[in-house]
Structure 1
Amino acid sequence: MSISAAQVKQLRDMTGAGMMDCKTALGETNGDMEAAVDWLRTKGIAKADKKAGRTAAEGLIGVQSDATSAVVVEVNSETDFVARNDAFQDIVRNVTQVALSTDGSTEAVAAATYPGGSKTVSDTIKDAIGTIGENMSLRRVGKLSVSSGAVATYVHNAVADNLGKMGVLVAIETTGDAEAARAFARQVAMHVAATNPLALTADEVDASAVTREKDIFAAQARESGKPENIIEKMVEGRMRKFFEEVVLLKQAFVLNPDLTVEAALKAAEKDIGAPATLTGFLRFALGEGIEKEQSDFAAEVAAAAKG
């Protein structure tokens, strides 16, 4: 029998399922709306598993904090269109809230109970794949805590409160004014969003990255024909410059380039009212490191038309 666009729209409005899924459901049930709803419900997990092979590199970063800790979460979807969907945003918001009560590991968050139900976060996301019609995944979670002080959050390219394309956490340990510490930590978080440092201190920079830079600088210096003792000094100077560029505490502070972040923190102690230590940062940029599939849009449209 012929399935009308109005029937497809009605079923989509009732279930939130994708257009092609609704059309298939109606075809399988001879246009019986209630039977089509049941068909979609029973096929939801199967559809989710089928969609799970597609690359999910869009989505949202969520952040949340309490008095002495904060979390940053990345939940991926296939398209930016879904990331603007209220239902998807609610999922990210709830997952982020759940993460705050865990140890901050991705595994713990995935296994935690989703708010307002009995299912896990992982199963709730899987169910939502069938409803929203795209592959989605909880990709990663990060958490920072302090014994006293504050952990500030910052969202860049925000689409809603605490949701956006990049999330940053910065932790400051201090016995001073926590709100003053949080205000300064938020400024540092904005700095981190802009500069993307590799590490908090020089000692924390990955050893392979340090070796690679030294080898490159040494090879460049040798091309100048300088003797080895001079080359060694040239490399030392270049490495100091390298650390100034990639180490957070050594970077020129974006809000006041005359000071390093370390010096700006020292100056902020006046407002904080006690010594303060920047103990950590996390920076999640949406989709970083995910190899996106290149799709043939014309072929996708043709396949949908045949469906």
Structure 2
Amino acid sequence: MTTISTDMIKKLREATNAGVLDCRKALEAAEGDFNKAVDILREKGLATAAKRASRAASEGVIDVYSHGNGRVCVMVEVNCETDFVGRSEVFRNFAHEIALQIAAASPLYIREEDIPQEVLDKEAAIAAAKAREDGKPEAIIPRIVEGSLAKFKDEFVLLRQKYIRDESKTVQDLLNETVVSTGENIVIRRFARWALGETTQDEA
């Protein structure tokens, strides 16, 4: 059996914000493999986040971020359950990271359920037309369309985007880790992103 050292637990705890006991159990289950232990904790985080998702979240913060000397501005509302967590450094940092993500990655929606059906239908039609144009067999076009829609969601849905600071995880993973760390339900409620001059052409 692999010996789990204090340093291993400390390193895992710093990387995941999970509790000491959870880190030890994850390392034991992973036989000392750090990456496997992270995955175990992430899976546990997902389960914990799902349990807490039904709890009301009406406290929190509105984070405002300006980038590039005022060329891009983001405003995002992130909610939690209590004012205590809403004022905590972990929660505030998370809200700010979400603002940075929105500024850098320009999502259009928070979750995939927010995408209007007509947008999905349009993307599916474009993908199918392109596949036919490329001479793809009719039998595989549904699979091509499915892949194209998944790619669209990964690019434009905030929670499905790769986290800009660590592309091995998604924004959903980051949210789940923060839920585990704070012990509360956390909701990214709404956001707005403005870029200088983006409407000028439309108004001309």
Give the TM-score category using the shorter length.
0.5 to 0.7
Equivalent residue, structure 2, for 1:193:
103
Amino acid at match of 2:181: D
Equivalent residue, structure 1, for 2:67:
156
Give, in angstroms, the shift of residue 267 of structure 1: 0.7
What is the CA–CA distance in structure 1 between the aligned matches of 2:201 and 2:127, rounded to whole Å? Answer: 30
Confirm whether residue 230 of structure 1 aligns to residue 136 of structure 2: no
Amino acid at match of 1:147: S
Confirm whether residue 267 of structure 1 aligns to residue 173 of structure 2: no
Instruction: Write out aligned runs for 1:12-23 (5 A).
Output: none
Post-superposition CA distance 1:101-160 (Å, at most 9, x none): xxxxxxxxxxxxxxxxxxxxxxxxxxxxxxxxxxxxxxxxxxxxx7212221211123xx
What is the CA–CA distance in structure 2 between the aligned matches of 1:205 and 1:182, rounded to whole Å? Answer: 27
Q: Is the 8 Å Cα contact of residues 58 and 81 (structure 2) preserved in structure 1?
A: no
What is the CA–CA distance in structure 2 between the aligned matches of 1:157 and 1:237, rounded to whole Å? Answer: 34
What is the CA–CA distance in structure 2 between the aligned matches of 1:233 and 1:293, rounded to whole Å? Answer: 39
What is the CA–CA distance in structure 1 between the aligned matches of 2:132 and 2:202, rounded to whole Å? Answer: 40
Cα distance 1:292–1:201, how it changes in 2: closer, same or farther (>3 A)? closer
What is the CA–CA distance in structure 1 between the aligned matches of 2:174 and 2:194, rounded to whole Å? Answer: 24
Give, in angstroms, the shift of residue 171 of structure 1: 1.8
Normalising by the residue count of structure 1, what TM-score does the alignment of the two structures yield? 0.43
* The structure with more strand, counted as a fraction of residues: 1
Amino acid at match of 1:167: C
* The structure with more helix, counted as a fraction of residues: 2
Bigger radius of gyration among the two: 1
Confirm whether residue 217 of structure 1 aligns to residue 127 of structure 2: yes
RMSD: 2.3
Amino acid at match of 1:149: G
Amino acid at match of 1:175: E
Normalising by the residue count of structure 2, what TM-score does the alignment of the two structures yield? 0.63
SS of 1:287's equivalent in the other structure is: coil
Give, in angstroms, the shift of residue 286 of structure 1: 2.1
Specify which of 194, 199, 203 is matched with residue 289 of structure 1: 199
Cα distance 1:189–1:226, how it changes in 2: closer, same or farther (>3 A)? same
Equivalent residue, structure 2, for 1:172:
78
Aligned-residue identity in percent:
34
Unaligned runs of 5+ in 1: 1-145, 159-163, 295-307
Instruction: Write out aligned runs for 1:1-307 (5 A).
Output: 147-158=58-69, 164-176=70-82, 177-178=85-86, 179=88, 180-291=90-201
What is the CA–CA distance in structure 1 between the aligned matches of 2:141 and 2:173, rounded to whole Å? Answer: 31
Q: Indicate the structure whose relative CO is greater, using CA pairs within 8 Å and at least 6 residues apart.
A: 2
Unaligned runs of 5+ in 2: 1-56
Amino acid at match of 1:237: G
Give, in angstroms, the shift of residue 165 of structure 1: 2.3
SS of 1:291's equivalent in the other structure is: helix
Q: Is the 8 Å Cα contact of residues 171 and 280 (structure 1) preserved in structure 2?
A: yes
